[in-house]
């Protein structure tokens, strides 16, 4: 986005600079997200990428009403 229009009262804007991400989608129990992160981190290493732990990492939620069946994309910043 280049512009922010009509920001609701009490909210702020945040601009995250362009980055490269490794992404995995977790679908299942909330308490198993850590396993998905471990799988993602293993993939990053196996593919000779470097995690940038001091950069923005994102989570994009698609479904979160049922903690036993959430749907979330995990974005880990890589070099």
Q: Which pLDDT score, from 0 to 100, does residue 1 have?
A: 57
Query: What integer is the mean pLDDT of 2-12?
Result: 83
Question: In the chain, where are the structural domains located?
Answer: 20-78
**What's the pTM?**
0.83
Contact 70, 30 (CB under 8 A): yes
pLDDT of residue 14: 86
Task: Give, for 31, the enclosing helix (H) or strand (E).
Answer: none
Note the pLDDT tens digit of each residue in 23-66: 999 999 999 999 999 999 999 999 999 999 999 999 999 999 99
Query: Is residue 67 scored above 80 in pLDDT?
Result: yes
Give pLDDT tens digits for 15-25: 888 999 999 99
Confidence band for 5, pLDDT divided at 50, 70 and 90: confident
Going by C-alpha positions, the residue among 13, 15, 32 that lies closest to residue 74 is: 32
**Residue 32: CB atoms within 10 Å:** 13
């Amino acid at each position: 986005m280049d512009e922010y229009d009509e920001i609701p009262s009490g909210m702020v804007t945040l601009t995250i600079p362009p980055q490269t991400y490794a992404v995995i989608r977790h679908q299942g129990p909330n308490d198993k997200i850590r396993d998905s992160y471990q799988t993602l981190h293993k993939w990053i290493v196996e593919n000779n990428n470097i995690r940038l732990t001091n950069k923005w990492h994102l989570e994009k939620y698609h479904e979160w009403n049922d903690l036993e069946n959430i749907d979330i994309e995990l974005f880990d910043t890589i070099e």
